[in-house]
Structure 1
Amino acid sequence: MSLLTELSEQLPGRAYGPGASEFDTGRTVFAGVGEPDVVVRPHTVDEVATAVARAAAAGLSIAVRSGGHGLLPVDDGLVIDLAEFDTIEVDDAGLVTLGPAAHWGDVAAALASRGLGISSGDTRQVGVGGLLLGGGVGWLVRTHGLTIDALREVELVTAAGEVLTVNAESHPELFWALRGGGGNFGVVTRFTVQASPVDGLVGGSIHFDRSDVPTVLRAWREVMRAGGDGLNSSLMLMPPMGPEMPGGPQVGIALRGTESELRDLLAPLLALPSVAKVDLAPVAYGDLLEDAPPGRPPFQFVGGNGFAPEVSDELLEAVAAAYARDVPTMVLLRALGGAFSRVDADATAIAHRDAEALVIVNGVLPADAEPELVTAVKAGSDAVIALTTGSYGGFEANRSDEITASMYPPATLERLRRVKAAVDPGNSFRRNHNIRPAG
């Protein structure tokens, strides 16, 4: 009996094969369309448990679709489409119950009237589940830390079909692993997250021309070092994209304070001769989020990311050199420190808590670029990444063992492997930055 037939009998109206609209929806993600054996769209946690246990017993891999943004297409096995798990509920203490398929833009909108928010990603359409399990480097990371730092509890379905309530007191080692270990340990059907005050924000952007990129880089670094936990910022170097978009440095900023305070903090940047446009004003947290691109772009990013222990002169020189090369190149530096660094390195699976910034550098090439060109461009990007320690999986589409090893220090990875062996010894949840079971 096929898994589709078996699950159709056990979960009437919830298991779908080719030809069903639910199958087409479940197999379609941001990165493309796959060909799984079965798509299940459960309505209850018990239905999730039934589907997971059956697929695991059959030795099939299990992929979980929450928002559909970070998942790669699945060409066999089971896809669990959690589209109906999109709860957003908040209590008087600011504890927020979230379904994994809720989107961060909707979460921001639901909390706005209370002056609360959860520092998440940069875009509205990203689903709660994937981002939260991966870490969550959001707009207010210096003020409120990673998204996982606000996580208080999860409801988890394991490969054995058990439904566990996981928190600091119940299954604490598993709770540690879930905060940064991705979807390796089961299917989360409910998150409980502590929201934080986000009212009274001011922010926006400063755009510069391309005349003196090294000076902008150094000035941004010094402003962020002097700004304290409340000043959150990313610096993006954009390549020219036609007459309407000449490219250049762009600084995004958010501060819980007044516009006058913000301008005082940013004075060294605002005084630079290369300033082309300034847009600073009071802003709602939800308005900091952007709309994600509508589909997979017709080009490829060639590069990577890493946590920089220090935004050194050497790092900034390498960034400027990568940006100045002939290949169109995008660079993002996200300031860390503050609340991000006040969390102990062994408190969650994201261990690179001493980082001053997260650095992302990518050459932009046509999707069909020759392999030789891809290799050459990657070497240029790697000159920057070599000055960092460890990578962040949320910005890394490559699912190789090498990338997984770069995400976690050896002791952290070994600890994650022990947790994996306890809850998923058959490695059913392997459609991810896979953590292989110990033993």
Structure 2
Amino acid sequence: MPFRALGLDARILKAISEAGYTEPTPIQSAAIPEVMADHDVIGIAQTGTGKTAAFTLPLLTKLAAITGQGPLRGIKALILAPTRELVVQIEENVKAYAKHLPLRVATVFGGVGERPQIEALRRGADIVIATPGRLLDLMNQRHGNFRALEHLVLDEADRMLDMGFLPSIRRIIKELPPKRQTLMFSATLSKEIETLTHEFQHRPKQVQIGRRSNPAETVTQWVYEVPKHLKPALLLHLMKDPGFNMVLVFCKMKHAADRLARFFESRGIKTAALHSNRSQNQRLRALADFKSGAVRVLVATDIAARGIDVDGISHVVNYDFPMHAEDYVHRIGRTGRAQAIGDALSFVTSEDQSALRSLERFIGRGLPRKKAEDFDYSAQPSAAAQPEAREREQKPRVLHNYSRRQGSSSGGGGGRGERREGGNRGGGRSRDGGGRSSGSGSGQRSRGPR
């Protein structure tokens, strides 16, 4: 089915054609007609399948229709996303699809000054894309006119509705008109969270492509059983393969990500770190350098699991195995996007075996194993050269080292003297929207847009 058969505005069809997209993805073909028909929608599909376009294209068509009646008054569409990276990504897509439309787009997220965002709302915006924390701050200051809102989108709905974001979402929705269209999209949506959608939606249509727990089928997955102290050496050994040319590495903790990035830099491997302790400019620069190939490795916490939409990632490495199966699905979904092939490697210690078994039950199959002793460690770095050992040598042991709670990500409490990114499973309400992120879909040029 071509895009023109979906009833989209001609100016939008022109924009996506100019971008080189010719055929919608399955989630787009299934969801766009339901959104166009004014239904509330729950959309579930694997990462990299074009979910962002599945809700933005029909919404833009609806807004284009009413712009013909004169200038819009008040904000008509609000898109909520869990991280600033995802907000920026959605904004880029919306502006690309709406390039021939007279629509105004504003973004609202933490980590930067409020004043430009307040001014953008004051000047007037037709579409607002925001993280919940900063938006709630501005709404409490009476910024933004949402009385005429007609469309609400929760992107990465499972994250938005978990116990960390739910209070903020409820407070925001309380200020919105009850008569509206509400759309929820995600790669995973648990049965428990699905029951909460009935609080915000009216008789929603559910559109599901594939099993909701499945990782992308184009990703080859391996488990490496390795003692904790050998993880740096194993990763360094694997990086000798030139095929590891664009590698995304996930750590549980912010400081661990920094240590690992410094370790790789000391070995001559260009590396950047991405987590909520980094400023917005640092985060944007890290992503830009990774996209351009200026750095070979990006070491990140789960803040990046759903917000990175980068073509060509060759490998995702779970340096620290995720506690929750949903996080695994989103992490490895950063590769193998838009039907491209990719590899996902997970380092599993004896402490991770229970989480690994839970993951295999979640995805419905076992994952192939490799053992650390199968590799040549003749070039193994000495203990003093390994990042964990160097950190122990440089820092005296302290009884208490309370770090400021930041971000909102998965995972339980962190190690001694350091919180995991985001604290508890609910993640906390980060003002910068630095929670687990989702990838919205990435469209293949020969198929559909993001």
Q: Output the TM-score relative to the length of structure 1.
A: 0.29
- Structure with more of its chain in strand, by fraction: 1
**Normalising by structure 2, what TM-score?**
0.29
